[in-house]
């Protein structure tokens, strides 16, 4: 069993969230892509994972207004479009890291 990923630093920028992981790995998550990937029940069907969110309704300039820790396993983000119910686990974020090392094809 592998240990769950643990971020060492989470930085909220104007258009991205930067997460530095234990091993010094850094992932820069564009705000809109992270908002569109929201895992909450309002954005994704809980049973099938099917996207319920109208992706076109998410503004190109959406940004994270605040980020707060959820226990020792996740973060919750309040978005500029009023959404804020999604809980992004560290495992989810690490698995969807958009950096070139983790996603060389750029399709995360």
Residue ranges of the chain with pLDDT lower than 50? none
Q: List the alpha helices (DSSP H) in the chain.
A: 31-36, 90-95
Contacts of 25 (CB under 8 A, 6+ apart): 97, 99, 101
pTM tops 0.85, yes or no: yes
**pLDDT at residue 3, as a whole number:** 76
**pLDDT at residue 80, as a whole number:** 98
**pLDDT at residue 16, as a whole number:** 98
Q: Tell me which fold the domain 7-95 belongs to.
A: NE0471 N-terminal domain-like (3.30.2020)
**pLDDT at residue 1, as a whole number:** 56
81 φ/ψ angles, rounded to the nearest 5 degrees: -90, 10
**pLDDT at residue 90, as a whole number:** 96
Contacts of 95 (CB under 8 A, 6+ apart): none
**pLDDT at residue 106, as a whole number:** 65
The string of pLDDT tens digits covering residues 80-106 is 999 999 999 999 999 999 988 887 676
Cα 24 to Cα 6, 88, 97, distances in angstroms: 11, 20, 13
* Domain positions in the chain: 7-95
């Amino acid at each position: 069993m592998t240990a769950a990923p643990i971020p060492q630093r989470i930085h909220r920028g104007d258009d991205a969230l930067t997460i530095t992981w234990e091993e010094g790995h850094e992932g820069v998550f564009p705000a809109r892509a992270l908002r569109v990937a929201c895992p909450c029940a309002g954005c994704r069907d809980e049973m099938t994972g099917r996207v319920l969110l109208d992706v076109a309704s998410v503004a190109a300039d959406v940004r994270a207004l605040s980020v707060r820790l959820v226990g020792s396993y996740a973060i919750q983000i309040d978005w500029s479009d009023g959404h804020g119910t999604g809980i992004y686990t560290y495992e989810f974020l690490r698995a969807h890291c958009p950096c070139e090392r983790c996603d060389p094809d750029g399709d995360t």
